[in-house]
Amino acid sequence: MSSASNTQASIEQVMQSVASYDRPTCMEELRKLPDVRLDFTDDFLNAMSLERLRHVVMAAMWQKLKRGVRSRAR
């Protein structure tokens, strides 16, 4: 499987996982991403709709995935 295929499969897997997250899981996943800088307080994140919070989690995971792909390409 090519690197592009692996990346696509990883993205799809992350998207499927995040779509099933409840609010506590979203918050936990954001806290487990120390290399992704987020300037959001817990109060701000708790005020978001669950759909929007999932979007933030997906974006943070996407950034982490992109950094991993760049690191392997070097």
Where do the domains of the chain lie? 3-73
In contact, 67 and 35? CB cutoff 8 Å: yes
Under the banding of pLDDT at 50, 70 and 90, the label for residue 24 is very high
Q: Is the pLDDT of residue 70 over 70?
A: no
Predicted local confidence at residue 1, as pLDDT: 55
With tokens 């997906």, the residue in question is 58
Rounded to the nearest integer, the mean pLDDT of the chain is: 83
What are the φ and ψ backbone dihedral angles of 34, each rounded to 5 degrees?
-65, -25
Q: Which two tokens stand for residue 72?
A: 């392997």
